[in-house]
């Protein structure tokens, strides 16, 4: 039997010893330097704020309109402010006993009356009817498009569907109710000229809501000729008397459908005839101009031109014709 040579085993062992010795003598590996601590990253810049739209023209118009004119003759008390300055209204205010029912300055008296149940509100405290009464305004002064009514008690906004619904939050008539809140501010749209149209001429519908005719910020109404442009040059308008009568009458003096009186403007020396109303108050009978919102298309000339009229106008029929003289009676 042959024996395995021992030489190969010796050589392999020697090589292993040399490898181990070489590894032990090799320099140690240099450790990698530690990672530097993370540098603080600056926060991103704040987003650019959306600029608030320029409402200055609207604010100026609102500040100068009739809703925001303070006057001691305009109900400067915590009762009348329900409409005149809602944020000054006190729901617990009440009508005081006569003769000082309301804190107010009446035109025929020199001193202002001070009532028990509705204290005086000074001009410095007066808020009026600012933008936020009719629009949602955020803390940055941004006005949300659209309209809404600010409830002065809860200070929450109430949704409204149109400008008339908004206006009637104050323009209401509450006389005769159980709470004694006697105000008569409702403006009634009536007559046949604009309402209840089954159809209309042209592409623009007739006005139906308050803001269709009234600028909601200046409160200035449109004039009839703004829509009825051809009236002033028509040869058939006013039964053919257009050129003669146009500067002597307002449109509503003829087209009023509410039955108001018609005559020269009260308290003025001349001017176009207007609709007016006479009432009896503390100072006696007073005739005042009243702007009618009830409009009729057909007019009747004998509304003013009737027999023995106080203005000595020529007598006319409803159609504007001179009536036939009565037939003379004959004796048999």
User: Whole-number mean pLDDT of the chain?
Assistant: 83
Q: How confident is the model at residue 1 (pLDDT cuts 50, 70, 90)?
A: very low
Secondary structure of the chain in HEC code, one letter for each residue: CCCCCCHHHHHHHHHHHHHHHHHHHCCCCCCCCCCCCCCCCCCCCCCCCCCCCCCHHHHHHHHCCHHHCCCCCCCCECCCHHHHCHHHCCCCCCCCCCCCCCCECCCCCCCCECCCCCCECCCCCCCCCCHHHCCCECCCCCECCCCEEECCCCCCEEECCCHHHHHCCCCCECCCCCCCCCCECCCCCECCCCCCCCCCCCCCCCCCCHHHHECCCCCCECCHHHHCCCHHHCCCHHHHCHHHHCCCECHHHHHECCCCEEECCCCCCCCCEEEEEEEEECCEEEEEECCCCEECCCCCHHHCCCCCCCCCCCCCCCCCCCCCCCCCCCCC
User: What is the distance between the alpha carbons of residues 69 and 123, in angstroms, rounded to a whole number?
Assistant: 10
Closest CA to 218 of 52, 331, 61, 332: 61
Q: pLDDT (tens digit, 9 = 90+) per residue, 7-22?
A: 555 555 665 666 555 5
For the stretch 21-52, pLDDT in tens is 555 555 555 666 676 666 566 676 666 667 77
Residues with Cβ < 8 Å from 119, sequence gap 6 or more? 77, 78, 90, 93, 103
- Contact between 123 and 81 (Cβ < 8 Å): no
Q: Which residue has the higher pLDDT, 173 or 318?
A: 318
CA-based end-to-end distance of the chain = 189
In the predicted structure, residue 324 carries a pLDDT above the cut 80: yes
Q: What integer is the mean pLDDT of 178-192?
A: 72
State yes or no: pLDDT of 156 exceeds 80: yes
Q: Which of 139, 66, 140, 137 is nearest to 148 (CA)?
A: 137
As a whole number, mean pLDDT of residues 84-112 equals 90
Residue 56 has pLDDT above 80, yes or no: yes
Q: How far is CA 19 from the centre of its chain?
A: 99
146 pLDDT tier (thresholds 50, 70, 90):
very high
Percent of the chain whose pLDDT exceeds 70: 80
What pLDDT score was predicted for residue 2?
46
Q: Residue 97's CB: how many other CB atoms inside 10 A? A: 10
More confident residue, 230 or 328: 230
Beta bridge mates, 273 = 249
Mean pLDDT over residues 41-66, rounded? 80
| Residue pair 77/118 in contact by the 8 Å Cβ criterion | yes
Determine how many CB atoms are found less than 10 A away from the CB of residue 165: 15
> In the predicted model, is pLDDT for residue 135 greater than 70?
yes
Contact 270, 277 (CB under 8 A): no
* pLDDT (mean) for 138-165: 91
pLDDT 10s digits, 273-291? 999 999 887 778 889 999 8
Taking the C-alpha atoms of residue 331 and residue 318, their distance in angstroms, rounded to an integer, is 32
Please give the structure tokens belonging to residue 28.
């140690």
pLDDT band at 150 (very low <50, low <70, confident <90, very high): very high
């Amino acid at each position: 039997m042959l024996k395995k040579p021992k030489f190969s085993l010796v050589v392999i062992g020697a090589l292993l010893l040399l490898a181990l010795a070489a590894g032990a003598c090799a320099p140690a590996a240099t450790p990698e330097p530690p990672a530097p601590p993370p540098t603080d990253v600056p926060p991103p810049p704040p987003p650019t704020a959306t600029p608030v739209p320029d409402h200055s023209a609207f604010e100026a118009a609102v500040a100068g309109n009739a809703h925001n004119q303070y006057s001691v003759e305009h109900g400067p008390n915590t009762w009348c402010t329900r409409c005149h300055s809602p944020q000054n209204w006190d729901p617990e205010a009440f009508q005081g006993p006569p003769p000082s029912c309301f804190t107010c300055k009446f035109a025929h008296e020199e001193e202002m009356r001070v009532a028990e149940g509705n204290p005086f509100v000074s001009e410095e405290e007066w808020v009026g009817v600012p933008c936020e009464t009719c629009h949602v305004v955020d803390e940055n002064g941004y006005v949300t498009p659209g309209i809404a009514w600010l409830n002065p008690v809860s200070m929450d906004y109430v949704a409204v569907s149109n400008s008339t619904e908004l206006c009637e939050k104050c323009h209401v008539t509450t006389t005769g109710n159980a709470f004694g809140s006697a105000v008569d501010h409702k403006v009634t749209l009536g007559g046949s000229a604009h309402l209840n149209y089954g159809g209309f001429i042209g592409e623009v519908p007739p006005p139906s809501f308050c803001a269709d005719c009234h600028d909601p910020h200046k409160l200035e109404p449109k004039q009839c000729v703004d829509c009825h442009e051809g009236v002033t040059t028509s040869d058939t308008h006013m039964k053919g008397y257009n050129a003669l009568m146009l500067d002597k009458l307002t449109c509503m003096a003829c087209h009023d459908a509410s039955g108001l009186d018609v005559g020269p403007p009260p308290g003025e020396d001349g001017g176009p005839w207007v609709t007016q109303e006479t009432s009896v108050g503390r100072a006696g009978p007073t005739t005042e101009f009243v702007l009618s919102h009830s409009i009729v298309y057909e007019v009747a000339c004998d509304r003013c031109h009737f027999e023995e009229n106080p203005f000595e106008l020529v007598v006319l029929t409803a159609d504007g014709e001179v009536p036939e003289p009565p037939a003379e009676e004959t004796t048999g």
